[in-house]
Amino acid sequence: MNADDKKAVLRMIPYGIYVLTADADGTLAASTVNWVTQSAFAPPLVVVGIKADSGTYKTVKAAQAFALNMLGKDQKALAFTFFRPADVSDGKLSGQSFRKGTTGAPVLIDVLGAVECRLTSIVEQGDHHIVVGEVVEAHLIKPPSGRPDAAILEMKDLGDNVFYGG
């Protein structure tokens, strides 16, 4: 397999930008992620690829729940904020207000919306593991005026040479 071709073809997959959050008995985690897809309607399932050696992965596993916070087109700075380890102070997550969701996962206040998920399966394969969650709560914070998938911040909005995949 040609490595450059593999990279170019895999980078054809378009991605939205999300802040994944979790709370394991007071240990909070928040990371920008993009490897996300829905995987079933009934029950509603989502899949997230999470770096297996990350603190966020450890926290999600311990919490057995997580939230996916959907960033808006104007929230590029927030995406970069959560590329770095989250800092919790003054009741904020890296400066962002949040509230505890029904699963216990932190739900950011200033985002388009969020889904909360109960962890149902993990496929421990590769440098990132496949985390499957059942959507048990949804927060529509800023209802989109057009298509919901036109409102979300996308990987291609982060910069001409910004990719995570390939």
**What is the CB-side half-sphere exposure of residue 31 using CA atoms within 13 A?**
20
Query: Nearest CA to 39 among 153, 121, 107, 149?
Result: 121
* Segment near a second copy (CB under 8 A); pick from 9-17, 57-65, 75-83, 89-97: 9-17
3-state secondary structure string across 70-119: ECECCCHHHHHHCCCCCCEECCEECCECEEECCCCCEEECCCCEEEEEEE
Which CA distances in Å does 4 have to 9, 156, 164, 165? 9, 19, 15, 12
Q: Is 6 in the site for a second copy (CB under 8 A)?
A: yes
State the minimum distance, in angstroms, from the CB of residue 152 to a second copy: 5
Q: How far is the CB of 48 from a second copy (least distance, A)?
A: 8
- Asked if 45 is part of the footprint of a second copy (rule: CB under 8 A), the reply reads yes
Q: Say how many C-beta atoms besides its own lie within 10 A of residue 131's C-beta.
A: 25
Q: Does 99 bind a second copy (CB under 8 A)?
A: no
Q: Are 64 and 115 in contact (CB under 8 A)?
A: no
What secondary structure letter does DSSP report for 157?
G
Q: Taking CB under 8 A as the rule, does residue 165 contact a second copy?
A: yes
- For residue 136, state whether it binds a second copy (rule: CB under 8 A): yes
Q: Is 20 in the site for a second copy (CB under 8 A)?
A: no
Residue of 73, 84, 99, 156 interacting with a second copy (CB under 8 A): 156
Interface with a second copy, residue 97, by CB under 8 A: no
Nearer CB in complex with a second copy: 85/148: 148
Contacting a second copy (CB under 8 A), which of 46, 107, 108, 119? 46
DSSP label at 143? -
Residues engaged in binding a second copy (CB under 8 A): 1-2, 4-6, 8-16, 35-47, 49, 70, 112-115, 120-121, 123, 125-130, 132, 135-140, 143-144, 147-152, 154-156, 160, 165-166
